[in-house]
Chains A and B, each alone.
Chain A
């Protein structure tokens, strides 16, 4: 299932968020060797992990299996602060209904095996889409490796490049704007064989968190 964590319900998800920062260290610092993200506490957190960030986390048997982060483009974000030159052709779109999508990951154990690996990734992507459509977000921007483009094309997404590919951390990468709507969600669900909604309602947890 997919949990959406915002500043409104963050207090209910402290252990899950901590586990997710630890997983990100595992994946981005140890496995992918983005060593500039290394921190001695073993948690991978950057300046965009602030109260504006929304986290989409996948869980299975009380374990975090994947996740993603959304940051409003009206606030400082990765493309505006670190990689503005990647949007040098079309310019960087910034608006209240555009969020930047970063830190999309699936834990190693869920990446092997054709059905499960794809399934967890599909759940996270559908979770991102559901959250966006629920909240009037009409586009995402993202810095992605070029080898992800065919997957998004196969899922029926409309990806608009913002600049030419650049080598980042040894991989050809590109900044894109992704226009999303109900059709994007439907074709992404169909592609991954996901029948319905993946996000769970957090209201129930919010209520139990309040003591009378």
Chain B
């Protein structure tokens, strides 16, 4: 980006425009255009689950170079990706090169970074986004020679928060699990104890209600979460941040 460019103006223009965009494809185009102004040729907006969960189901907008996501998935890089690991530990934006890893201890981490460079993901910048449920998301971007000016980074910090929010709103908030809670407080209590391995009888004793009531809450939760079994309901509730 040239000297004449005003980082703040670029960021604020994008934020103003995002509100008016109602189609994900348009958001994709608009965000791509802004990021390329900062020297980033590709980007990804995604939820960042804890491994062994996989990344792919949580991707909101995929602007990576052709073939990279496929290779990343096939090689199961997510569990060893040092950038993703650091994203899950911080709320502050960082350059990819700042994500710590020990190349001798974790050769896989070094491999992820090396292969990424082969795909043109040379230098990168990541903005973590902490969701209300404690679930992490991020906007991560890369290019050959991006603009690492502090003022550019601050503008990108802002841009990323709004770009993610717009995508999440348009796509029903996949990265946040279910944004709106569907379970009642009692149903959450019951499933939380079930997640601890407690039986209906035990949960009934803990909560001071009848076993029948506990089972009824479980049945209601299963319906609401579209789950067939109790275990599936617990897993779905955990994933969506209900418990």
A and B assemble together: yes
What residues of A have a CB within 8 angstroms of the CB of B130 in the complex?
147, 150
Asked whether A163 lies within 8 Å of B8 as measured between CB atoms, the reply is: yes
Contact call B15/A190, Cβ cutoff below 8 A: no
Beta-carbon contact of B132 and A154 below 8 Å: yes
Report chain A residues within 8 Å CB of B11.
164
Q: List which A63-78 residues lie within 8 A (CB) of chain B.
A: none
Complex partner residue of B180 from A146, A150, A191, CB under 8 angstroms: A191
20 A-B residue pairs with Cβ-Cβ distance under 8 Å, sorted by A, are A89-B8, A114-B133, A114-B134, A114-B188, A115-B188, A146-B157, A147-B91, A147-B130, A149-B165, A150-B161, A151-B131, A153-B165, A154-B168, A161-B158, A165-B158, A172-B92, A172-B154, A172-B157, A174-B158, A191-B180
- Give chain B nearest CB distance to A123 CB in angstroms: 14
State which size class the interface on B falls in: 35 or more
- CB atoms of B185 and A115 under 8 A apart: yes
**B91 — which chain A residues lie within 8 A by C-beta?**
146-147
Q: Chain B interface (Cβ within 8 Å of chain A)?
A: 7-9, 11-12, 15, 91-93, 129-134, 137, 151, 154-155, 157-158, 161-162, 164-165, 168-169, 173, 176, 179-181, 185, 188, 241, 243
**A residues near B, CB below 8 A?**
89-90, 114-115, 118, 146-147, 149-151, 153-154, 161, 163-166, 172, 174, 190-191, 193
| 19 other A-B residue contacts (CB within 8 Å) besides A150-B137, A153-B168, A174-B158 | A89-B8, A90-B12, A114-B243, A150-B129, A150-B132, A150-B161, A150-B165, A151-B132, A153-B162, A154-B131, A161-B12, A164-B7, A164-B8, A164-B151, A164-B154, A165-B157, A172-B93, A172-B154, A193-B181
Chain A residue numbers with a CB within 8 Å of B92 are: 172
Whether A154 contacts B176 in the complex (CB less than 8 A), given A118-B132, A147-B130, A163-B8, comes out as: yes
A115 CA to B241 CA in the complex, in Å? 11
What does DSSP make chain A's interface, helix, strand, loop or mixed?
helix
How distant is the Cα of A147 from the Cα of B132 in the complex, in angstroms?
10
Please name the 9 residue pairs, one residue from A and one from B, whose CB atoms are nearest each other, closest first.
Answer: A153-B165, A164-B154, A147-B91, A149-B161, A89-B8, A151-B132, A165-B154, A147-B130, A150-B129
Q: Which residues of B contact A147 (CB under 8 A)?
A: 91, 130
The answer, among B155, B168, B169, for a CB contact under 8 Å with A164, is B155
Q: How long is the Cα–Cα vector from A163 to B154 in the complex, in angstroms? A: 10
CA–CA, A49 to B83, complex, Å?
Answer: 44
CA distance A166 to B133 in the complex (A): 25
- Least CB separation from A114: chain B residue: B243
